[in-house]
Chains A and B, each alone.
Chain A
Amino acid sequence: MKNIIIGSIMVLLMGCSSSGVGQTEEVQVKSPSVKEHKLVNKSVIKETKTSKDELVLVLCSAQKLAEAKSILKKYKLQMVKQSSPTIMTVASHGEQSSQELKEILLKESSVFCQAQENYKYHTMQSMKNIKGKGNE
């Protein structure tokens, strides 16, 4: 096992921040919106399937956006991103699991038609034998 990196990566989501150096108190960032991946070696990055608490929501119509934002606020959910008029990504503040979040949001069936974990994808370039000019 010596030659195997058994480290892990955690990528936190946009918008998760801590206070800065120089302040006398600092809140430890243990954001639940953490994506953990195993780095077995540099050629193959193994990831967990998704963030534990980041969801993709599909609005039933673009006209439901304001209503959707209101619901997110009610449940203290953060809209990380709006990819299109009807697709948005949300993250919780760690009080609910993704399954719990889905159940909560899908109760608002007139606003949210679908909810799903925001799976992560990455390029399928092998890191082996890379030569030549590029940005490797």
Chain B
Amino acid sequence: MNNFFKNMRLWTLCLGLAMSATSAIAMPQGQDTFVQDELLIVPAPNGLLNVGAMGYKVMNKQDGKTPFLRVKLKKGETVLSAMNALAGNSNIAYVQPNYIYRAALVPNDPRFNEYWGLKNTGQAVNGGAAGTSGADMAVEKAWGVNTDCSTITVAVIDTGVDYNHPDLATNIWSNAGEIAGNGIDDDANGFVDDIRGWDFVQADNDPMDFAHHGTHVAGTIGASGNNGVGGTGVCWTSTIMPLRVLGSTGSGTTADIITAIDYATANGAKVINMSLGGSGGFTGDLTDQAIARANAAGVLVVIAAGNSGTDNDTTPSYPAAYTQPNIIAVAATTQSDALASFSNFGATSVDIGAPGTSILSTVPPARSAIPGCSWNFDTATLQGWTVNTWDTTGAPLLTTNTVAISTEAAKSPFYSLTDTPGSVYANNRSYRAVSPTCNLTGVQGALLKYNLELASESNFDYLYVETSPDGVTWTVGSAWSGTTSGVFYPLELDMKSLDGAPSAQVRFRFDTDATFVLGGYHADDIQMTAPNTSVAAHSAADYAFLDGTSMATPNVAGVAALVWAADAGLTVAQLKSRILNNADVNPALAGKTVTGKRVNAMMAMPLQAATGLTATVQTASSVSLSWVDNSISESNYRVQRDAGVGFATIATLATNSAAYTDSAAPSNTTLTYRVVALARDGRIINSATASATTPVATAPAATPAASSGGGGGCVMGGQQNGIDPLFPILLALALGALYRRRRNV
């Protein structure tokens, strides 16, 4: 039990008028457990309690709605002495210390209140609408058990990770078997100098994120928490293994992904996060096989369901749609617990939902324009671009070039680059526009950004965007055809292959075939950019809100790491079951996911046994029980009694219960009790036992109804005859109000 729970233990003390050998009041140990000069008193029904006459000052407003009195103790009186003094007062139904409740662990990260997925108070974030309180993963409460996931390596198979980000730098996996920079594969894992993961796109040892996606994902799993910087991950401390398989524009292929899965599996990852997908795949294909190998090694693979808003049962998105038992496929939920509009779903193929809209997390610093490599054409000049037109029937360079700057359309004032100003394009032409040279020396992760408006014969007339290191050899990066309906779209082209080139160039080549003509293309605000990933470039502003099942997936991966770190003995199958079967039922996910649930970290955490069980005889037929509720993940408690023939359940109590009165105890019997904490998935854990012997019944006694729910309490034993039958209910209501405070902290 950690210090948090030591401080948060809830003691319910009983005052019995029918004193027994076990009825001595013992005060709980620990600091600041309760207010030292106050008590809470519940007057007995129909009693004539006048605490003022007893020398106590009532501290709370008595408006008829509050069922208890908060009283200030007399000078020199302690809580213990006051409770003993009040023990014989028949006008008092119940008395207890005024316990101090502490909130679940709240990190000191300044933007934590924007992480609605971790704790949703209904707060509006990112300029959006308010959410629904409680529509979250209850991570803040789970932190009461564990915040440290560093024993669970989580591989982020993505666009890379900005390992210099101040909220991630200390949580990046380090390959202990590799010596940095010696050019040797020290650990013989097939990868040289892979000290912090691998870039499978460029086949080097630098998995830096030149986009932003992987950094955002990594931060959701394990951005440093409680460090006073930015926000926090699901895990405050973590071990993130960056594996870059998606380029700067966010795309990658099977070959790199399966290699990355195998790398993660072979190098100690316990959880793999894949916030990616595509329509290509089939059961038993190479990716499926790689995930099967991960399963055999006990690795959990958490995968995004997809963002098409479609049913994966009928239109599968891979790799989410594979059926390996170690996969958790994740849909995205909103701040109001709805299924996100973009989220794929699948009653048989998508396991669970998790927060996936307006998710705040880490991103690399904004990219910078490479000096001399931005062209907005605002000055009505070509800004150094060379233009010409070819006749593709014989490939001659035409003497009449028509590529030019035009005012026909523009993203920024007032001009753009176009093929045929004032006219439709011609057939059998190749319209060329070549940029000036750009010096990419020292640049890593170059990216071309441009805005494109296009009207071309779809699938026949193409605008090719090409790059060249020397102006001689050109590589096609993207090719576009069709129409954008007059709208400029911001587009990107990964130029990392030209990193370091001193004379890199870009070419827009618009080729038309022999039939059909349209307006052609307009390109504007063309810019080569470089990332700013040095340590010095980072700032407290390097966070962003993003939407997607990409964002929901690492929430689940983080919870998996959090639970697994707290319960290291789980197998991958048990971990998956733990997460799926302890989640919150969400009507919006019913029929849309396998479980119909949204993940709940708190309920997936290990159960803790109740401690300090005491059994106090009240009457010949009544025994009061109290215990310390140590667990956060129980769905309810069962009280079990053994009268010599074995334990049997005598009551089922609500979560967080810490007391119960057995009002149907057999007289003249030695009774043994235990309380059993139950989780949603059927896990149980028993407390130690406590025994009490009831006396011989001396007179017919009205048996009070059993008290259950609402946290229980201790029935006063002084009214053996004529006890108000509503008393247990009133008491439950009164204490329920008190206990609810704990859930709301």
A→B interface (CB under 8 Å): 2-12, 14-21, 24-26, 28-29, 31, 34, 36, 39, 42-44, 46-50, 54, 56, 58, 81-85, 87-89, 114, 116-126, 128-136
Give Cα distance in the complex from A17 to B281, angstroms: 29
Residue of B nearest to A135 (CB): B212
Question: Given A56-B286, A118-B255, A133-B543, A123 and B483 touching (CB < 8 A)?
Answer: no
A9:B480 contact, CB within 8 angstroms: yes
> B-side binding surface: helix, strand, loop or mixed?
mixed
- The verdict on B549 contacting chain A, using a C-beta distance below 8 Å, is yes
Count contacts on B: residues with CB < 8 A to the other chain: 104
A2:B485 contact, CB within 8 angstroms: yes
Give Cα distance in the complex from A121 to B511, angstroms: 28
B548:A14 contact, CB within 8 angstroms: no
Give Cα distance in the complex from A42 to B541, angstroms: 26
| Interface residues as binary, B155-175 with A (CB distance below 8 Å gives 1, 0 otherwise) | 000110000000000000000
With a CB–CB cut-off of 8 A, which chain B residues contact A21? 386, 388, 432, 434, 471, 507
Question: Given A10-B481, A17-B473, A133-B542, A122 and B253 touching (CB < 8 A)?
Answer: no
A129:B358 contact, CB within 8 angstroms: yes
With a CB–CB cut-off of 8 A, which chain B residues contact A17? 473-476
Tell which of B213, B281, B497 touches A119, judged by Cβ atoms closer than 8 Å. Answer: B281
With a CB–CB cut-off of 8 A, which chain B residues contact A114? 286
Apart from A14-B497, A118-B253, 9 more pairs, CB < 8 Å:
A7-B484, A11-B476, A12-B476, A14-B475, A39-B482, A121-B277, A123-B211, A126-B547, A126-B550
Residue of B nearest to A20 (CB): B472
Tell which of B357, B434, B479 touches A11, judged by Cβ atoms closer than 8 Å. Answer: B479
With a CB–CB cut-off of 8 A, which chain A residues contact B459? 8, 36
Tell which of B254, B454, B479 touches A116, judged by Cβ atoms closer than 8 Å. Answer: B254
Pairs across A and B, CB under 8 Å, 9 listed: A7-B483, A10-B479, A18-B476, A85-B190, A121-B251, A122-B251, A124-B550, A132-B545, A133-B541
Tell which of A24, A29, A126, A136 touches B397, judged by Cβ atoms closer than 8 Å. Answer: A24
Stretch at the interface among B301-309, B609-617, B680-688: B301-309
A7:B364 contact, CB within 8 angstroms: no
| Interface residues as binary, B540-568 with A (CB distance below 8 Å gives 1, 0 otherwise) | 01111111111101000000000000000
Residue of A nearest to B394 (CB): A25
A119:B476 contact, CB within 8 angstroms: no
Give Cα distance in the complex from A16 to B475, angstroms: 6
Stretch at the interface among B256-264, B642-650, B707-715: B256-264
B485:A3 contact, CB within 8 angstroms: yes
- The verdict on B32 contacting chain A, using a C-beta distance below 8 Å, is no
- The verdict on B121 contacting chain A, using a C-beta distance below 8 Å, is no
Question: Given A10-B480, A56-B258, A119-B254, A124 and B366 touching (CB < 8 A)?
Answer: no
* A-B complex: 8 closest residue pairs judged by Cβ atoms: A7-B482, A119-B280, A49-B280, A10-B479, A134-B544, A12-B476, A124-B304, A124-B550
CB distance from A10 to the nearest CB of B (A): 4
- The verdict on B363 contacting chain A, using a C-beta distance below 8 Å, is yes
B→A interface (CB under 8 Å): 126-128, 158-159, 190, 200, 203, 211-213, 216, 245-246, 250-259, 262-263, 275-281, 285-287, 304-309, 318-319, 340, 342, 357-358, 360, 363-364, 366-367, 386, 388, 390, 392, 395-397, 430, 432, 434, 454, 456, 458-459, 462, 464, 466, 468, 471-485, 487, 489-490, 497, 507, 511, 541-551, 553
Give Cα distance in the complex from A56 to B543, angstroms: 37
Give Cα distance in the complex from A116 to B255, angstroms: 10
Tell which of A43, A50, A135 touches B364, judged by Cβ atoms closer than 8 Å. Answer: A135
B473:A125 contact, CB within 8 angstroms: no
B276:A121 contact, CB within 8 angstroms: yes
With a CB–CB cut-off of 8 A, which chain A residues contact B511? 28
With a CB–CB cut-off of 8 A, which chain B residues contact A83? 200, 203, 255-256, 258-259
CB distance from B319 to the nearest CB of A (A): 8
Question: Given A21-B471, A29-B476, A43-B342, A119 and B278 touching (CB < 8 A)?
Answer: yes
Most chain B Cβ neighbours within 10 Å, of A21, A24, A82: A21
Give Cα distance in the complex from A111 to B482, angstroms: 43
B363:A135 contact, CB within 8 angstroms: yes
Tell which of A26, A46, A119, A132 touches B253, judged by Cβ atoms closer than 8 Å. Answer: A119
Give Cα distance in the complex from A8 to B212, angstroms: 25
B395:A26 contact, CB within 8 angstroms: yes
Give Cα distance in the complex from A120 to B319, angstroms: 11
Residue of A nearest to B511 (CB): A28
Residue of B nearest to A4 (CB): B485
Tell which of A10, A43, A124 touches B553, judged by Cβ atoms closer than 8 Å. Answer: A124
CB distance from A16 to the nearest CB of B (A): 6
Question: Given A26-B390, A119-B254, A124-B276, A131 and B307 touching (CB < 8 A)?
Answer: no
CB distance from A95 to the nearest CB of B (A): 20
CB distance from B483 to the nearest CB of A (A): 6
Give Cα distance in the complex from A46 to B287, angstroms: 20
CB distance from A77 to the nearest CB of B (A): 14
With a CB–CB cut-off of 8 A, which chain A residues contact B543? 132-133
CB distance from B209 to the nearest CB of A (A): 9
With a CB–CB cut-off of 8 A, which chain A residues contact B396? 24
Residue of B nearest to A90 (CB): B255
With a CB–CB cut-off of 8 A, which chain B residues contact A28? 392, 395, 430, 511
Give Cα distance in the complex from A77 to B545, angstroms: 44
Give Cα distance in the complex from A126 to B308, angstroms: 9
Give Cα distance in the complex from A21 to B250, angstroms: 30
Most chain B Cβ neighbours within 10 Å, of A3, A7, A131, A133: A7
A29:B464 contact, CB within 8 angstroms: yes
With a CB–CB cut-off of 8 A, which chain A residues contact B216? 125, 134
With a CB–CB cut-off of 8 A, which chain A residues contact B474? 17-20
A124:B548 contact, CB within 8 angstroms: yes
CB distance from A102 to the nearest CB of B (A): 12
B278:A120 contact, CB within 8 angstroms: yes
B307:A124 contact, CB within 8 angstroms: yes
Tell which of A8, A20, A31 touches B481, judged by Cβ atoms closer than 8 Å. Answer: A8
With a CB–CB cut-off of 8 A, which chain A residues contact B546? 125-126, 130, 134
CB distance from B200 to the nearest CB of A (A): 6
With a CB–CB cut-off of 8 A, which chain B residues contact A26? 390, 395, 430
Tell which of A6, A20, A42, A117 touches B471, judged by Cβ atoms closer than 8 Å. Answer: A20
CB distance from B425 to the nearest CB of A (A): 15
Tell which of A3, A5, A24 touches B489, judged by Cβ atoms closer than 8 Å. Answer: A5
With a CB–CB cut-off of 8 A, which chain B residues contact A12? 464, 475-477, 479
Give Cα distance in the complex from A43 to B497, angstroms: 27
A47:B363 contact, CB within 8 angstroms: no
With a CB–CB cut-off of 8 A, which chain A residues contact B507? 21
Tell which of A81, A119, A121, A132 touches B246, judged by Cβ atoms closer than 8 Å. Answer: A121
A121:B253 contact, CB within 8 angstroms: yes
A123:B126 contact, CB within 8 angstroms: no
CB distance from A111 to the nearest CB of B (A): 17
Give Cα distance in the complex from A5 to B259, angstroms: 35
Give Cα distance in the complex from A17 to B509, angstroms: 13
